[in-house]
Amino acid sequence: MKPWAPSEIVVDLNGPEPLYSQVARQIGAAIEDGRLPNGARLDNELDLAARLHLSRPTIRQAIQSLVNQGLLVRKRGVGTQVVRTKVARPLRLSSLFDDLSELGDKPESVVLVNRVEPAGDDAIEHLEAPGLTHVRRLKRVRSTGGEPLAIMNNYLPDGIVDPADDELREKGLYQLLRSAGVRLHAAQQNVGARQATEEDAELLDEKPGAALLTMRRTTYDDSGKVVEYGWHVYRASRYSFNLSLTNNV
């Protein structure tokens, strides 16, 4: 197969978007919409650089970002090829609310608890903040299409966000944190399963003993501080996690 001639790529030398980003975005779009099908060979780096009147390192930076996203594979002595697996994006730092919103569902929430309370040993341990005196405690039931989907319990260190119940109904927790200037950096999640208790069953409109997905999560910000600890349960009949893994670092 003939290597792709990037006649369609145009770069704006004076625009605000970095050159490598412009190139990466346009090649990525060509892969997404099928102009660059699975297995297609990309032009080599030197030719690409010459045609776009850019330097080779700039081209390499563009290609590298696509390799990191898992859309391209480079092999020394061979070339660069498209590997379009079924799923494009690796796992992101997103919340249930974000995911549902992207799918076009309109999530609804009932806020059961939203208050600041003295920090117990449990909260102090999970938030990894020994001197903490107060925590915000949240308990919400998330629904879509009028059917309950999940029970969401959260601890947050007091003072990070101060949401009204209305805001909690209309926005996801991650959205609120980002709006408050928190720079989310990493999260550690544990996913398991258990049977529904009486209380679970009542809140989720399930029968006691039904299978539930459980998720415990600790979220960290840029400075390494814990900004949120949550333990959630999902109705297994209505929800499951999708994960994309790639082999890149």
Site residues (CB under 8 A) for a copy of itself?
38-39, 57, 65, 68-70, 73, 75, 81-87, 90-93, 128, 184-195, 209-214, 218, 220, 222-224, 236, 239-247, 249
* Of residues 79 and 169, the one with the C-beta less far from a copy of itself: 79
Structure tokens at 108: 């609804």
Rounded Cα distance between 47 and 37, Å, is 20
Rounded Cα distance between 18 and 197, Å, is 53
Q: Rule CB under 7 A: choose which of 27, 30, 31, 54 binds DNA.
A: 54
Rounded Cα distance between 48 and 36, Å, is 15
Query: Nearest approach, Cβ of 226 to a copy of itself (angstroms)?
Result: 9
Task: Tell me the per-residue interface mask from 56 to 95 with DNA, x by CB under 7 A, - otherwise.
Answer: xxx-xx------------xxxxxxx---------------
Residue 165: count other Cβ atoms within 10 Å of its Cβ.
12
Torsion angle, alpha carbons of 16, 18, 23, 25, to 10: -70
Question: If contact means CB under 5 to 8 A according to the sort of partner, which of a copy of itself, DNA, none does residue 130 touch?
Answer: none
Query: Nearest approach, Cβ of 19 to DNA (angstroms)?
Result: 3
Question: If contact means CB under 5 to 8 A according to the sort of partner, which of DNA, a copy of itself, none does residue 42 touch?
Answer: DNA
Task: Report the run of H or E that residue 159 belongs to, with start and end.
Answer: none
- Taking alpha carbons only, the member of 156, 153, 194, 150 closest to residue 177 is 156
Task: Tell me the per-residue interface mask from 5 to 44 with DNA, x by CB under 7 A, - otherwise.
Answer: -------------xxxx--------------------x-x
Rounded Cα distance between 226 and 185, Å, is 10
Question: Is residue 108 helix, strand or coil?
Answer: strand
- Residue ranges binding DNA (CB under 7 A): 3, 18-21, 42, 44-47, 53-58, 60-61, 74-80
